[in-house]
């Protein structure tokens, strides 16, 4: 069976979430870069795949999944990756908590700050800094007593969803200096077998 | 076994997501209202339950789950509600797509507009209106060809996550007049056995 296509962009943290997880579980993807600068993601063929006109999109035969969190869940379910997507209801819910944090508090904190600083998006960097400080503070406190986001048993999809934009925070001029537990967690993710960096 | 406690607030759409799903699957909750006006959600005891200092929080014995989407998944898993949380990887991923939309595009569109208009939050109503128009346009287009958000087979957790702040959009001075397919979908949700309104 052909590898699924991942419509992606090299600098997108949301695409990196999926590429990272696929690397960690050793699942090959056929990565096709979408020309965001050329507005290819707003063309009709891409809008038909994802009405939100965003990467990443996973396409496998007639199956099309958009949203990076949904793609993570899909790949975990498809490949029976129960360590990354635990079957216990409490542990699974703990993963979903952090999928939501990745979509909201991390996106509208460090990820938005990076959009402004690196790509010139018309958002308020000051607002993103304030949001980032709250977000990073809560995560720092959590990681002071937990080895992994969704519990101590091991890394889960929560790591794949949260790591990219936390690791990339300095690109948005969000310093991680005051968050040693978070930094130690970044290093733990980077030590996982199969780990790839953003440009890997 | 005692019913789980739901720390809640009567006017919160996020809490309503959980109360609605519990009503639809006939699972009793022990709803305890948190005094948000009195900043009870910022007290130490509540922060220990949810470091983000937000309702809802579900507590069942020593299990504590925050984030409304995570609570929906937890209750579906715990009660084997496979119609609402399909086991097929593609259908499940389609539900997660809409959990993410509920946390991001719906929250930072109609829900933010309501926070400004109804509760005086210091956010930009103009920005929330622009975001809402994009969000509602995509959803309208989707529901023109789909009976339910995550497919045509039946309602899922996607409905429980997305319905509250879409139904409440007019409280944020976001008109739904131009979105007939969305309005028809609201009526389908309201016709489900067990449905309760926000104040139900």
- 10 Å Cβ neighbour count for A121? 13
Task: Compute the nearest-CA separation of B60 from chain A (Å).
Answer: 10
Residue A189, both tokens: 């993710």
Helices (H), chain B: 13-24, 44-49, 68-78, 89-101, 112-119, 125-145, 157-167, 180-190
| Confidence tier at B151 by pLDDT (50, 70, 90) | confident
How does pLDDT run across B28-48, given as a tens digit for each residue?
Answer: 999 999 999 999 999 999 999
Inter-chain residue contact B100 with A96, CB threshold 8 Å:
no
What pLDDT, on a 0 to 100 scale, did the predictor assign at position A147? 98
A–B interface: beta-carbon pairs under 8 A: 89
Evaluate if residue A197 carries a pLDDT over 90.
yes
Q: What ipTM does this complex have?
A: 0.98
Query: Across residues A34-63, what is the average pLDDT?
Result: 97
Average pLDDT, chain B: 97
User: B187 vs chain A: nearest CA distance in angstroms?
Assistant: 23
Res. B116 pLDDT band, cuts 50 70 90: very high
Q: What pLDDT is stored for residue B2 in this prediction? A: 87
For residue A5, the cross-strand partners are A30, A59
In this prediction, residue A2 carries a pLDDT of 87
Strand, coil or helix: A161: helix
State pLDDT tens for residues A151-179.
Answer: 889 999 999 999 999 999 999 999 999 99
Lateral strand order in the sheet of A30-33: A30-33, A5-8, A57-60, A63-66
Position A151 scores a pLDDT of 85
Per-residue DSSP letter, A18: H
Chain A neighbours among B 56-75 (CB < 8 Å)? 63, 65-67, 69-71, 73-74
| Chain B residues in contact with A141 (beta carbon < 8 A) | 51
Q: What domains lie within chain B, and their CATH numbers?
A: 5-78 (3.40.30.10), 89-190 (1.20.1050.10)
C-alpha–C-alpha distance, residues B68 and A142, integer Å: 19
What whole-number percentage of chain B has pLDDT above 90?
98
Q: What is the DSSP string of B136-189?
A: HHHHHHHHHH-SBTTBSS---HHHHHHHHHHHTGGGGT---TT-HHHHHHHHHH
Q: State the pLDDT confidence band at A200, using cuts at 50, 70 and 90.
A: confident
How much is the pLDDT for A82?
96
CA distance B159 to B139: 12
Helices (H) and strands (E) in chain B, counts: 8, 4
Q: What is the CA radius of gyration of chain A?
A: 16
């Amino acid at each position: 069976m052909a590898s699924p296509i991942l419509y992606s962009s090299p600098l997108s943290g949301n695409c990196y979430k999926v590429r990272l997880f696929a690397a960690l579980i050793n699942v090959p993807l056929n990565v096709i870069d979408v020309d965001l600068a050329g507005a290819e993601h707003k063309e009709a063929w891409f809008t038909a795949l994802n009405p939100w006109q965003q990467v990443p999109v996973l396409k496998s035969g007639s199956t099309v999944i958009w949203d990076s969190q949904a793609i993570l869940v899909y790949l975990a379910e498809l490949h029976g990756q129960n360590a990354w997507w635990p079957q216990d209801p409490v542990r699974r819910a703990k993963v979903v908590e952090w999928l939501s944090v990745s979509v909201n508090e991390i996106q509208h904190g460090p990820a938005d700050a990076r959009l402004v600083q690196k790509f010139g998006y018309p958002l308020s960097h000051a607002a993103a800094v304030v949001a980032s400080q709250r977000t990073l503070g809560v995560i720092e406190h959590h990681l002071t007593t937990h080895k992994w986001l969704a519990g101590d048993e091991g890394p889960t999809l929560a790591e794949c969803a949260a790591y990219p934009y936390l690791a990339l925070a300095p690109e948005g001029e969000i310093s991680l200096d005051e968050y040693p537990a978070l930094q130690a967690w970044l290093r733990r993710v980077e030590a996982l077998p199969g780990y790839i960096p953003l440009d890997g």
